[in-house]
Amino acid sequence: MVTNGPLQRYHHTLSSKNGKLDDEPYTDVPYDYDDFYAGNVDSSAFSCVYGTHGASILPVLYSLLFVLGFLGNTLVVWVVLMGVKLRSMTDICLLNLALSNLLLVSSLPFLAHYARDQWIFGDVMCVMVLSVYHIGFYSGIFFIVLMSVDRYLAVVHAVFALRVRTRTYGILASLAIWIVAVSASFPELMHLKTTGYNEQIHCTSYPTNDPNSNLYFRTFGILKMNVMGLILPLIVIGFCYSMILKRLLTVHTSRRQAMHLVIVVMVVFFCCWAPYNVTAFIKVLEMNELITQSCANSKAIRLSLQITEVLAYSHSSLNPIIYAFVRKKFRRHFFRLLYRTPFSRLQFMNLTQATVYSHNTNDEKNSTTV
């Protein structure tokens, strides 16, 4: 959420001392993560010159993540709707997770261009793109939490799960998640607009007329992301999967593969989102002058934000693999659908399909339950 979320791109600094925009030397970078406020600030920070690495690398990485995320999640939507056909709560959750990921990755082509240039898509597209970005960001995380609860019920409370893990409850739970995701996107959605500075157009999610308001909403946005985007989801996911692991340890060793999948889910979520949230929190400390502000620190934080931001976005590309294609049932439906397309004429398809159908029922049960 750093790019156009809690940490807004601006090529100027806001001074809380005089309430005016302070000029900053142009650095050939169309965005800047760093707002320095008056006070005990190292004067070198105001003349800190940033390189153009982000403007060169970020568009490439964003474009790559868009292609991978779009293809993977589109395939998930196709298989769930045409093959699985939404028979259970798990299917509903998987479909909505893929839709959430598609929302987020659909904003990446615009952000890729914005990373190397000013905003050229107009005020309406600014509102639309960042609205999709914020909602997709939170809904994707919340649906991962919902899938964790769904798997927890299926494994730990199997009898009770027969009554609640239905298509109807899945639809109701998904509607609730979408409402919470939209609510979590405020107050950013209230301030979406384009603004001009230094002969460039910027797309912003925060107030620009008052530096104190800007600082407050940016700080609130990051702390909100830390709590709702990492801490609370991590608590729920950690509890659910720890209980699942505990239950799997008491059953037959044939579920070893399912245990590995549980561990992978938790590790991937933590590795993708924790570095990003920690770096964003450090940015809050810098913005509020709670840590020493200098050019060196600013460059280090800015670089860390760029790296961890890409890592966080990559989770939307990994989700189809972790939650869908790893399931043998899903793969079987996928190859069935693929066999009906012109691709079925390829020679390798017959061999692949035969391999998929050869898996036994116990392995399928282990992979789909967890």
Within-domain flag for 6: no
The closest alpha carbon to 146, from 105, 98, 103, 90, belongs to 90
Q: How many residues are present in the chain?
A: 370
Residue type present at position 203: C
pLDDT at 346: 52
Higher pLDDT, 216 or 28: 216
Q: How many domains does the chain have?
A: 1
Is 360 contained in some domain? no
Instruction: Please check whether residue 183 lies inside any domain of the structure.
Output: yes
- Model confidence over 108-159: pLDDT tens digits? 999 999 988 889 998 999 999 999 999 999 999 999 999 999 989 988 888 8
Report the alpha-carbon distance of residue 191 to residue 209 in Å, rounded: 11
**Arithmetic mean of pLDDT, 18-34:** 36
pTM equals 0.80
Is the residue at 361 inside a domain? Answer: no
Alpha carbon distance 206, 221 (integer Å): 9
pLDDT confidence of residue 343:
55
Closest to 72 (Cα-Cα) out of 89, 97, 107: 97
The predicted model gives 311-321 an average pLDDT of: 91
Residue 180, domain CATH: 1.20.1070.10
Its domain, for residue 207, covers 13-326
Domain-embedded: residue 150? yes
Residue 336 within any structural domain of the chain? no
Kindly state whether residue 204 falls inside one of the protein's structural domains.
Answer: yes
Whether the pLDDT of residue 360 is over 90: the answer is no
Q: How far apart are CA 13 and CA 205, in angstroms?
A: 16
Per the model's pLDDT, the better-predicted residue between 349 and 308 turns out to be: 308
Residue 4 lies in a domain: no
